[in-house]
Amino acid sequence: MLQAIVFLILGLAILIVGAEFTVRGSASVAKKLKISSLVIGLTVVAFGTSSPELIVNIFSAFRGSADIAIGNIIGSNIANILLILGLAGLIYPITVKRSTVWYEIPLALLGMVLVFVMGNDQLLDKVGFSALTRTDGLTLMAIFFIFMIYIVSLAKKGKVEEEEVKTYSWMWSLIMVLCGLASLFFGGKVLVDNAIILAQLAGLSEAFIGLTIVAVGTSLPELATSLVAVYHHKNDIAIGNIVGSNIFNVFWILGLTSTILPLPFSPAVNFDVLVGIIATMLLFLFMFVSTRQKLDRWQGGMFVILYFVYIVYLIQRG
């Protein structure tokens, strides 16, 4: 078991380093091709930072481990709000943009609700099998592209901060891209393979591994970004990073994964999806409690407490 844990952590580290190299190298290439920093931030950087979750999901799907793939997304979204945003709110109260409150948080909530609706064919349609099908995946991706059009419209109005892009030589840029992609592939495979082995050896469900270790692990870049942003009082980056990540996770990553390969949906995951829905609803409601459009310290503390209560429940559930 110890070997599986070590290799799982190693795979996760390689995955995160691979994402960083891929983003930096791709952004440098794009900048050298005279693409604006704003477009790079909206495409190369945004998609690149979601690559760990995407790679894990694709490997999980092809290994027949749908519970890890779905658990990774649901668990990441729960951790993003309750753990990461909670910790960020504890460090410093976070003021939230009006557009984030009225458009982006509700879209993140819609994503979680759609996962519940699309995944519960047995419950809602009274059929013999529940799954996120290719049709579901294409629908999620269609909504995602509408969201991207919305983001581009904000960018044109100057309401999206431009990404600072560091450039390297052509040789180093290409080396970083190639090494990054290779690391993503290798790290993702190592992580998923050993997550499955660990679940089997410890007698834990693959859903548990996906919802906890894999989910929190692939959310580490968001954790680092948000905590650094809130420390420097850059509230838009702190909360925009989290809400945007949750939207990406459901509509882009889960949508693309289920389009490539339909994912069987276990009814046991319904509780976790509901936790994700409740967490997102709480975030929305907190915008109208105490100080409007602000996440106060006591609210951040409540999020963190709720996350640890949820983890204790998962451990007892196994």
Per domain, the residue ranges of the chain are 2-317
If phi > 0 it is left, if psi is from -120 to 50 it is alpha, else beta; for residue 297 that is alpha
- Can you tell me the distance from the alpha carbon of 131 to that of 52, in angstroms, rounded to the nearest whole number? 23
What percentage of the chain carries pLDDT values higher than 70? Answer: 92
What is the reported pTM?
Answer: 0.85
162: confidence class by pLDDT, cuts 50, 70, 90: low
CB 66 within 8 Å of CB 263: yes
CB 67 within 8 Å of CB 196: no
Mean pLDDT of 135-158: 87
pLDDT tens digits, residue range 198-230? 777 777 788 888 888 788 887 877 777 777 777
Higher confidence at residue 124 or residue 99?
A: 124
Q: Which of 23, 4, 6 is nearest to 221 (CA)?
A: 23
Question: Which CATH number is associated with domain 2-317?
Answer: 1.20.1420.30
- Can you tell me the distance from the alpha carbon of 314 to that of 318, in angstroms, rounded to the nearest whole number? 6
Higher confidence at residue 203 or residue 173?
A: 173
132's CB contacts (< 8 A; 6+ apart) are 70, 115, 118, 119, 254, 258, 262, 263, 265
What is the model's pLDDT at position 200? 74
Is the pLDDT at 164 greater than 70? The verdict is: no
Q: Out of 4-13, 132-141, 175-184, 232-241, which region has the weakest mean confidence (pLDDT)?
A: 232-241
